[in-house]
Structure 1
């Protein structure tokens, strides 16, 4: 027979199970052997743990797949899962493959060269628990030097509903910020290799689902947001893809013709502004002139 005092001691010394968020994290991987470990580490370090991580090798062909399997062996069995696609299909196909494999109620996205702030999942799940009707939740991102100290964590965030007018301006949902319901009847359009994320977010929001955004930076890019060197060909390709996405939304009846024309005009304004930014960067960063 165990007395009350001994029972109390046993309870105190017993490990408290760590809470786990019902989230599958999807990471498309293409020739990312140098950055994927840091991306996964930022998931493993979350203050609120996620149930699983799915790494999808997009037929890298350079040793990345072997690196992913070696990385999976460093974590608890089954937590880090590796899928290998037989041919390269781009980020949309890789994310869809991971989404199909996901087992949790929610799916989060992370690119192989980005990282998360430590309490990203905790803050987003706090809002999702308060409002289960939310279909998609995102937050701010910023460019951060990979070798610089991490910014101090934030403890609170305010959620704002994002309506269709805001979505007509530009993409308010950086991919590595998004958590969405796994059961949504949408997927990434595999015909698109650029701006494919905005097409999906717009399809969700314009179909009437609740989408919100937190007013805090909880994830980081480690390179400029339009190409590693901000090259003009990257900008041209991005804007061409943006035009195709706007036409696709119009074709699907998710935006009206006036809305389409308004969004197209804004697209031209953004293109002019980004050209000015690129010109300034080239003038001040000689390595971009070649």
Structure 2
């Protein structure tokens, strides 16, 4: 029962070692880590190769051109060998029991995917915040609000009918994939235990709120498959949640 862990990387030399070590320290050992370098200009590739020396489960893909997070993740998914696909960004990290806990939940919960609560850690040491999640999420729930942190998510390719890729857009591509996974029925199980840490970096791709909102609308219309009127209805939930979070 192999888990393929998908890790895009772009100029993450300062953080990626922590992410890789959190994978190596997993209590569940049957995994492959596929790191996809998206044409980094720092020494990210050297850091990854230093871990490859002692662990053959770590694989490195170097893209011929910058493709963005969606393109990098899809390149890794395409060559993955595992039944289960998990995601971990290069600046985030996991608790040691993360994979074992989620695999058990997937086996007993009859779900297409699993996610968990997580802790947000600010890069400038402004403290951290616990983000809790609902116990179950359906496709209709997901149209109203996306509680699934990318670095907490894992999906079962067998229950999903095969590998599913992210829409090739610059933002909200993970949200688009969750909608694809749940669109034809099934559910996502949310675990209350915080199993991952999300690093909030300055000038991150997701930091531009207006741009993120536009991409959210695009995903609602595309992957959500709803009309303009229904998209406006669901977008209101997104806006209200954003104001509460702010």
Which whole-Å CA distance do the structure 2 matches of 1:27 and 1:232 have between them? 17
Deviation digits for residues 184-220 of structure 1 (CA, Å, limit 9, x no counterpart) = 3531111x11111001101211221332211221001
Does 2:3 align with 1:37? Answer: no
Which whole-Å CA distance do the structure 2 matches of 1:162 and 1:134 have between them? 10
Question: What is the TM-score normalised by the length of structure 2?
Answer: 0.85
Residue-pair matches, total = 237
Seen in structure 2, the aligned counterparts of structure 1 residues 212 and 146 have a Cα distance that, compared at 3 Å, is: same
CA RMSD of aligned residues (A): 2.8
In structure 2, the residue matched to 1:286 is none
Contact 1:168–1:259 (CA under 8 A) maintained in structure 2: no
In structure 1, the residue matched to 2:115 is 138
Contact 2:77–2:163 (CA under 8 A) maintained in structure 1: no
In structure 2, the residue matched to 1:7 is none
**Structure with greater contact order relative to length (CA < 8 Å, sep ≥ 6):** 2
The secondary structure found in structure 2 opposite 1:49 is coil
Which whole-Å CA distance do the structure 2 matches of 1:262 and 1:37 have between them? 42
Match of 2:217 among 243, 250, 254: 243
Does 2:239 align with 1:268? Answer: yes
Seen in structure 2, the aligned counterparts of structure 1 residues 215 and 88 have a Cα distance that, compared at 3 Å, is: same
In structure 1, the residue matched to 2:52 is 72
Seen in structure 2, the aligned counterparts of structure 1 residues 214 and 90 have a Cα distance that, compared at 3 Å, is: same
What residue ranges of structure 2 are gaps of 5+ in the alignment? Answer: none
Which whole-Å CA distance do the structure 2 matches of 1:129 and 1:123 have between them? 10
Match of 1:174 among 128, 134, 149: 149
Deviation digits for residues 95-118 of structure 1 (CA, Å, limit 9, x no counterpart) = 111111111111110000001011
Contact 1:134–1:210 (CA under 8 A) maintained in structure 2: yes
Contact 1:138–1:212 (CA under 8 A) maintained in structure 2: yes
Does 2:132 align with 1:128? Answer: no
